[in-house]
Amino acid sequence: MTYWQRLKDVTTARGALCVGIDPHAALLKAWDLPVTVAGMEKCARGLVEALGQQVAVFKPQSAFFESYGSAGVAVLERVLADIREAGALSILDVKRGDIGSTMDAYADAYLADGAPLAADAITVSPYLGFGSLNPAFERAHRYGRGVYVLARTSNPEGGQVQLALGREGSVVQEIIDAATEANHLGRQHAIGLVVGGTHSSLGCDVSSFNGSILVPGIGVQGGRIEDLPDLFGDAVRRVLPVVGRGVIQAGPGADAMRAKVQGLLAG
């Protein structure tokens, strides 16, 4: 089954919401956990234990695991397994981007069946050109997984590169158009976009896009779910909003986090 179909099934059943797993030091302290790999594991897996049956998609942020070295990456493997066992999907936020055999290796690391760190989808970064990401698209198509390409990010500094003018329009528009075309050719809609929800206007046109749109920046960064229809127009039906700290900060109590998610799904 394709990623697009799996995503549709789980968001139809559970609602279109992605919860970020960002176990940073300040959060561990707020949860009264030690800032150690054991404390981080308790936080990350506790979140999935509390919400795994309720939430459609989780987005673990790789950086917070990598900062503990290989022991942290081993926790990430267990978190990805927990998400799978709970019947939810994982979008592993790694923002990888490289060329040739190196991009092949990243694709194998995160999108190949049997890989220890295989996720249902990953994020990738197109600084080396959209075409450099082909190995990730190829693996996504082969294994029924997804790839979200950074297009317009939620941070204020992003415009420096993303709004620069390429041959056929802005960089972000070239990325969007190339992703649309690659989805058309691949016939799986496996390629998604990352478009931040913090901007007052997008500065790009996603109206013809034919994949999933991951929208971070909701909550602490200032974006609001209720503003997404105005921001995305008809494409809002493709939007998967990501709520990070808004949910995790309601913890560590499972009931409080579930109530927070319930409120977001209802609103």
Residues near its own copies (CB under 8 A) are: 22, 24, 26, 61, 63-64, 66-71, 73-74, 76-77, 93, 95-106, 108-110, 115-117, 125-132, 150, 153-167, 170-171, 174
Residue 85 beta carbon to its own copies: minimum distance, rounded to whole angstroms: 18
Give 11 or 134: the residue with its C-beta nearer to its own copies: 134
| 74, 112 contact by CB (below 8 A) | no
Residue 220 beta carbon to its own copies: minimum distance, rounded to whole angstroms: 9
User: Annotated catalytic, 42?
Assistant: no
Residue 26 beta carbon to its own copies: minimum distance, rounded to whole angstroms: 8
Residue 28 beta carbon to its own copies: minimum distance, rounded to whole angstroms: 12
Give 109 or 190: the residue with its C-beta nearer to its own copies: 109
Give 96 or 145: the residue with its C-beta nearer to its own copies: 96
Give 7 or 202: the residue with its C-beta nearer to its own copies: 202
| 197, 215 contact by CB (below 8 A) | yes
Among candidate residues 42, 59, 95, 260, the one labeled active-site is 95
Give the burial class of 256: count Cβ atoms within 10 A of its Cβ; 0-12 exposed, 13-18 middle, 19 or more buried: middle
DSSP β-bridge partners for residue 61: 93
Catalytically annotated residues: 95
